Chains A and B, each alone.
Chain A
Amino acid sequence: MSVPAHAKLSPVESVLTRTVGDEMVLLNLSTEYYFGLDPVGAAMWQAICDTGTLTGAQEVLSGVYDVETARVGNDLRDLVEQLVEHHLLEVADE
């Protein structure tokens, strides 16, 4: 699925998060599905939760990581699509 850049993103209500070592684990209580994020993925999750959009998260992360903005955007989009697919993140109707 393709997520619009300005679509409102938010964690699914039944998702719990926990840091385990240097990674973050997401648990969806509805599906009993666990999903692990490495430190970069965890930073992406946090940026998405804080800003609520792909573009907002991209801006935050571009200021933190010394990589091309386009690459940050592509990695973010890949992650968001996985999170949506696994019912961990939801895209609000526009």
Chain B
Amino acid sequence: MSSVRPRIGAGDVARVAAAVPVLLVLDAMVRLLGVRRGQQVLERLVPLRALAPDRDPAGGVEAAGIALALDRAAARVCRWSGRCLRRSLALWAWLRLRGVDAQIQFGVRRQGTALVGHAWVSHDGLAIAETAEMLAAHVSFGEVK
């Protein structure tokens, strides 16, 4: 099976490059503090801004672009497990800067004898920058904030 990936422009390259250190810092934070405490610290470091009335970053093209850049950066630098979690934390923090009070969700699916976990970001009950197939495959633990 082949997949078609959108072409990457200069702006996307800059976004990916900017995402790399963010993901590395978040990885260190999660390793040191765990997910919940790490998110609490991040919440203090990245206060929720006011949402401009004419913007909808959670459902917009901009959020999808950021998520794609984070995916690409994570694929290059995150050789560890839990890549989706670091990506979700970064997207969650980015959304806070744009006034969106999003949530991180955890899910799990059975793959043979193994349990495979996944994390994603949602807002108002809608997942952001996730495929329907990925969401359908996982049973959610619910929102974690």
Residues of A within 8 A of B (CB): 14, 16-21, 25, 27, 29-32, 34-36
- Check B35 against A29 for contact (C-beta < 8 Å): yes
- The dominant DSSP class at the B interface is strand
Residues of B within 8 A of A (CB): 30, 34-37, 81-82, 85, 106, 108-110, 115, 117, 139-142, 144
What residues of A have a CB within 8 angstroms of the CB of B109 in the complex? 20
B80's closest neighbor in chain A, by CB?
A32
- Check A18 against B117 for contact (C-beta < 8 Å): no
- The dominant DSSP class at the A interface is strand
Chain B CB within 10 Å — which of A19, A21, A25, A36 has the most? Answer: A25
- Check B110 against A16 for contact (C-beta < 8 Å): no
- Check A36 against B81 for contact (C-beta < 8 Å): no
Chain B CB within 10 Å — which of A16, A21, A31 has the most? Answer: A16
What residues of B have a CB within 8 angstroms of the CB of A18 in the complex? 108, 139-142
What residues of A have a CB within 8 angstroms of the CB of B141 in the complex? 16-18, 27
- 17 A-B residue pairs with Cβ-Cβ distance under 8 Å, sorted by A, are A16-B106, A16-B142, A18-B108, A18-B140, A20-B139, A25-B115, A27-B117, A27-B141, A29-B106, A29-B144, A30-B34, A30-B37, A31-B34, A32-B117, A34-B108, A34-B117, A36-B115
CA distance A19 to B110 in the complex (A): 12
What residues of B have a CB within 8 angstroms of the CB of A35 in the complex? 115
CA distance A67 to B123 in the complex (A): 48
